[in-house]
C-alpha cells in the first residue's frame, strides 16, 4: 500500500467508526479499497462513519460507546465532535470486580541493563545529586549554587551525571495543616528518595517556612551515607537563616561544602548489570490525538506487558483519562482490595473536580479535538491501552511511593507535569511519554523517552522524538515490532544512552499537586 492510497483504522470489529490515517486527511469522494466512499472531507485522525447512524445511535470505537449521534449521520460522513453527545460518567457502584483473570503471560527472562544499584535495592538509571528545597524562597540561591557546583565541583566527580535543584512553589504561603496538604508534602519527601539520587539527600531550607526540614524528613526517615562511609540518620540541612551565615557567599559556601560531601559518596556509584525487573517505568501521554490510541499507546501497552513479564514495575496514571474505562480496570484488578482502591481514587477526583465546578470533560484540549479526539470518553479509551493487558496489582494515591512490583495504577491528574512529578515520587527510574501533537517535554531527574504517534510528527521533530510509532498506521511496522523496539530502547536508555530531551537538556518544572488552599 502506498502512502497516498486512502487508509483507515478501526480498533475493534464492533466499531462503527474508523479514523483516517493519511497525512492531510482525505477529500470528499475518496473511495477506499472496500468501496466505502467519503461523502465529505475528513481530516487526518478524525472519524468516518462505517454505517448509516440514526439520531441517538451509539457511536462505537474501541468496542465502547464514545457518544450518541446528535443527528442522523450517513455512512461515509465525518463524525465530528459536534455530532457526538457525550455519555454520562460510569457510576462507581456495581462495577465488575476482579472478574477478568488473564492467563499469566510467560515470564520474559534474560534481559538486562546497566544500572546503579542502591542500598535499598532500587536501581538508578542516572547518577544525580539532588538538592531538596523546602520552600520557593530559596530557589534563587539554589540556582546560583547549582551553577557553581556544576562549574567548579562536578568536573572532579566524573561518575556523577548532573546536579539538580528540586525547586517547587510549595513550602510556605500554603495551608499546611489542611486535610489535603499531605499530598504535596509526601510527594516532595518521596521525590527526594528517587532511585536516581542514590539514597543521598541534602536540603536547603530558609528557616521560617511552614514546611520545616523536620516535617519534610522526620528523624530517621532519610538515612544517608557520609563521605567516611558511616550512616547518618538524617540528611544534612543548609538553613539560610542560621546565625552563622554572614553574607550571601557564606550561604553559597555552605551549600557547596554540603554538596561536595554528597558528590564524594555519589561518585562511588558504578553501573552494574541488573535484570529488566529493576526498571520502574512511568507511562503517560500528552498532546494526544486520535493516533495516540492506535499507534503509540498500543505499542507502549505491548511494551508494558513485556516489562511485567520481565518482573518490572510499570505505572499508568491520569485519573480523568481512565475514569470512563473504570470498569475495564476494576475487572482487571488482581483482587477486590485493588479494585476498591481504584474506585476510591476515582471518587476522590470526581469530588475534587466537582468542588471546582467542573467534571472529567474539563480534561480535553483544543489540540485533542483538532487531532480527532471528540471527547474524554474517546480520549480515555486511547489512553488506557498504555496499560497493556496484565492484571493490575496495586494502586497508589497521589505522591505515594511504590511498595510492590507489576502493573500499578498510580492515581494522578493528567497534567503532564503533575503526573510526571508524582511518578517521580513513586520511584520511577524511566519515563515513557507518547504524543501526537508533539511536546518537547523533559525532566532533569529521570530520562524521558518520547514516542510519536504519527509519521509526520516523527519526521518534523526528528531530533525531539525518540521513537516513531506512526509507522504502525502506515503499515511499515506493527504494534508488536514497535513494542519490542521500545522495550530494547528502554534497556539502552536505562543503561545510559541519552534521549533527545537529555541531549538538548530540556527540563520542565516539578509541579506539585496541591489540592489544599494557599494562604
Q: Nearer Cβ to Ca ion, position 309 or 437?
A: 437
**Rounded CA separation 170/136 (Å):** 6
Binding window for Ca ion (CB under 5 A); candidates: 48-56, 284-292, 386-394, 486-494: 284-292
Least distance to a copy of itself from the beta carbon of 138, Å? 7
Instruction: Give the one entry of a copy of itself, Ca ion, none that residue 355 binds, where binding means its C-beta sits below a cut-off of 5 to 8 angstroms depending on kind.
Output: a copy of itself
Q: Do residues 180 and 516 make contact, with C-beta atoms less than 8 angstroms apart?
A: yes
Structure-block grid coordinates of residue 482: 514497535
Buried b (16+ CB within 10 A) or exposed e, 482-503: bbebbbebbbebbebbebbbbe
Q: Nearer Cβ to Ca ion, position 73 or 329?
A: 329
Least distance to a copy of itself from the beta carbon of 477, Å? 22
Q: Nearer Cβ to a copy of itself, position 82 or 229?
A: 82
Q: Nearer Cβ to a copy of itself, position 329 or 464?
A: 464
**Rounded CA separation 61/152 (Å):** 57
DSSP letters, 169-225, are S-SSSB-TTSGGGHHHHHHHHHHTT-GGGTT--EEEE-SS-SS-HHHHS-TTSS-EE
On the 0-12 / 13-18 / 19+ scale of CB atoms within 10 A, 18 is: buried
Q: Nearer Cβ to Ca ion, position 123 or 142?
A: 142
| Kind of pairing between the strands at 128-133 and 231-232 | unpaired
Q: Nearer Cβ to a copy of itself, position 37 or 504?
A: 504
Least distance to a copy of itself from the beta carbon of 434, Å? 14
Binding window for Ca ion (CB under 5 A); candidates: 215-223, 224-232, 348-356, 406-414: 406-414
Q: Nearer Cβ to a copy of itself, position 138 or 338?
A: 138
Least distance to a copy of itself from the beta carbon of 377, Å? 15
Among 196, 258, 262, 284, binds Ca ion (CB under 5 A): 284
336-341 contacts, C-beta under 8 A, 24 or more apart: 336/97, 336/98, 338/98, 338/392, 338/393, 338/394, 338/395, 339/95, 339/97, 339/98, 340/97, 341/395
For the segment 413-442, give every residue that binds Ca ion (CB under 5 A).
Answer: 414, 416, 419
For the segment 61-120, give every residue that binds Ca ion (CB under 5 A).
Answer: none
The closest of 392, 396, 425 to 407, measured between CA atoms, is 392
Alpha carbon 347 to its chain centroid, in Å, reads: 21
Least distance to Ca ion from the beta carbon of 321, Å? 5
Instruction: Give the one entry of a copy of itself, Ca ion, none that residue 392 binds, where binding means its C-beta sits below a cut-off of 5 to 8 angstroms depending on kind.
Output: none
Instruction: Give the one entry of Ca ion, a copy of itself, none that residue 99 binds, where binding means its C-beta sits below a cut-off of 5 to 8 angstroms depending on kind.
Output: none
**Rounded CA separation 390/179 (Å):** 34
Q: Nearer Cβ to a copy of itself, position 6 or 287?
A: 287
Instruction: Give the one entry of a copy of itself, Ca ion, none that residue 172 binds, where binding means its C-beta sits below a cut-off of 5 to 8 angstroms depending on kind.
Output: a copy of itself
Q: Does residue 375 bind Ca ion (CB under 5 A)?
A: no
Least distance to a copy of itself from the beta carbon of 354, Å? 9
The closest of 200, 211, 40 to 136, measured between CA atoms, is 211
Q: Nearer Cβ to a copy of itself, position 27 or 356?
A: 356
Q: Do residues 240 and 253 make contact, with C-beta atoms less than 8 angstroms apart?
A: no
User: Cα dihedral sign for 115, 116, 120, 122?
Assistant: negative
Structure-block grid coordinates of residue 174: 500554603
Interaction mask 285-314, Ca ion, x per CB under 5 A: xx----------------------------
**Rounded CA separation 288/336 (Å):** 32
Q: Nearer Cβ to a copy of itself, position 393 or 435?
A: 435
**Rounded CA separation 44/39 (Å):** 15
**Rounded CA separation 438/289 (Å):** 10
Instruction: Give the one entry of Ca ion, a copy of itself, none that residue 124 binds, where binding means its C-beta sits below a cut-off of 5 to 8 angstroms depending on kind.
Output: none
First-residue to last-residue Cα distance in the chain: 61
**225 beta partners:** 231
For the segment 320-349, give every residue that binds Ca ion (CB under 5 A).
Answer: 321
Instruction: Give the one entry of a copy of itself, Ca ion, none that residue 462 binds, where binding means its C-beta sits below a cut-off of 5 to 8 angstroms depending on kind.
Output: a copy of itself
Least distance to Ca ion from the beta carbon of 443, Å? 13
Instruction: Give the one entry of a copy of itself, Ca ion, none that residue 465 binds, where binding means its C-beta sits below a cut-off of 5 to 8 angstroms depending on kind.
Output: none
Q: Do residues 205 and 191 make contact, with C-beta atoms less than 8 angstroms apart?
A: no
Least distance to Ca ion from the beta carbon of 142, Å? 10
Least distance to a copy of itself from the beta carbon of 416, Å? 6
Q: Nearer Cβ to Ca ion, position 274 or 424?
A: 424
Least distance to a copy of itself from the beta carbon of 441, Å? 6
**Rounded CA separation 380/338 (Å):** 20
Instruction: Give the one entry of Ca ion, a copy of itself, none that residue 284 binds, where binding means its C-beta sits below a cut-off of 5 to 8 angstroms depending on kind.
Output: Ca ion
Q: Nearer Cβ to Ca ion, position 160 or 300?
A: 300
Binding-site ranges for Ca ion (CB under 5 A): 284-286, 318, 321, 414, 416, 419
Amino acid at each position: 500500500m502506498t502512502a497516498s492510497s486512502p487508509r483507515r483504522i478501526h480498533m475493534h470489529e464492533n466499531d462503527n467508526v474508523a479514523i483516517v490515517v493519511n497525512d492531510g486527511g482525505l477529500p470528499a469522494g475518496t473511495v477506499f479499497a472496500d468501496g466505502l466512499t467519503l461523502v465529505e472531507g475528513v481530516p487526518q485522525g478524525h472519524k468516518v462513519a462505517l454505517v448509516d447512524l440514526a439520531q441517538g445511535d451509539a457511536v462505537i470505537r474501541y468496542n465502547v460507546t464514545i457518544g450518541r449521534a446528535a443527528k442522523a449521520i450517513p455512512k461515509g460522513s465525518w463524525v465530528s465532535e459536534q455530532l457526538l453527545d457525550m455519555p454520562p460518567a460510569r457510576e462507581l457502584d456495581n462495577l465488575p470486580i476482579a472478574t477478568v483473570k488473564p492467563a499469566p503471560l510467560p515470564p520474559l527472562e534474560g534481559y538486562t541493563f546497566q544500572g546503579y544499584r542502591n542500598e535499598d535495592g532500587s536501581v538508578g538509571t542516572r547518577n544525580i545529586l539532588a538538592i531538596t528545597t523546602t520552600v520557593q524562597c530559596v530557589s534563587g540561591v539554589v540556582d546560583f549554587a547549582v551553577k557553581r557546583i556544576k562549574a567548579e565541583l562536578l568536573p572532579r566527580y566524573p561518575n556523577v551525571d548532573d546536579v539538580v535543584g528540586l525547586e517547587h512553589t510549595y513550602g510556605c504561603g500554603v495551608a499546611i495543616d489542611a486535610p489535603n496538604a499531605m499530598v504535596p508534602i509526601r510527594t516532595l519527601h518521596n521525590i527526594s528518595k528517587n532511585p536516581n539520587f542514590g539514597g543521598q539527600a541534602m536540603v536547603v531550607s530558609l528557616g521560617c517556612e511552614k514546611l520545616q526540614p523536620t516535617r519534610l524528613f522526620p528523624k530517621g526517615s532519610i538515612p544517608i551515607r557520609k563521605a567516611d562511609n558511616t550512616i547518618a540518620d538524617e540528611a544534612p540541612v543548609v538553613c539560610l537563616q542560621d546565625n552563622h551565615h554572614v553574607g550571601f557567599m557564606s550561604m553559597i559556601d555552605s551549600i557547596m561544602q554540603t554538596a561536595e560531601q554528597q558528590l564524594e559518596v555519589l561518585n562511588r556509584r558504578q553501573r552494574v548489570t541488573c535484570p529488566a525487573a529493576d526498571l520502574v517505568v512511568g507511562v503517560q501521554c500528552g498532546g494526544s490525538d486520535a493516533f495516540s490510541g492506535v499507534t503509540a499507546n498500543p505499542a507502549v501497552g505491548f511494551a508494558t506487558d513485556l516489562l511485567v513479564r520481565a518482573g518490572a514495575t510499570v505505572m499508568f496514571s491520569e485519573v480523568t483519562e481512565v475514569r470512563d474505562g473504570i470498569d475495564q480496570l476494576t475487572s482487571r484488578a488482581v483482587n477486590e482490595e485493588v479494585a476498591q482502591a481504584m474506585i476510591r481514587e476515582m471518587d476522590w477526583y470526581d469530588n475534587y473536580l466537582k468542588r471546582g465546578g467542573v467534571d472529567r470533560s474539563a480534561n480535553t484540549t483544543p489540540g485533542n479535538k483538532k487531532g480527532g479526539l471528540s471527547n474524554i470518553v474517546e480520549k480515555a479509551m486511547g489512553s488506557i491501552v498504555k496499560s497493556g493487558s496484565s492484571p493490575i496489582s496495586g494502586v497508589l494515591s497521589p505522591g505515594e511511593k511504590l511498595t510492590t512490583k507489576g502493573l500499578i495504577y498510580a492515581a494522578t491528574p493528567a497534567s503532564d507535569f503533575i503526573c510526571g512529578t508524582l511518578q517521580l515520587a513513586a520511584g520511577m527510574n524511566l519515563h515513557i511519554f507518547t504524543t501526537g501533537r508533539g511536546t518537547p517535554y523533559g525532566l532533569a531527574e529521570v530520562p524521558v523517552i518520547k514516542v510519536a504517534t504519527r509519521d509526520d510528527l516523527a519526521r518534523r521533530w526528528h531530533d525531539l522524538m525518540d521513537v516513531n510509532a506512526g509507522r504502525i498506521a502506515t503499515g511499515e511496522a506493527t504494534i508488536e515490532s514497535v513494542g519490542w523496539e521500545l522495550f530494547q530502547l528502554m534497556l539502552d536508555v536505562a543503561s545510559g544512552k541519552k534521549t533527545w530531551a537529555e541531549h538538548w537538556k530540556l527540563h520542565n518544572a516539578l509541579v506539585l499537586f496541591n489540592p489544599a488552599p494557599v494562604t
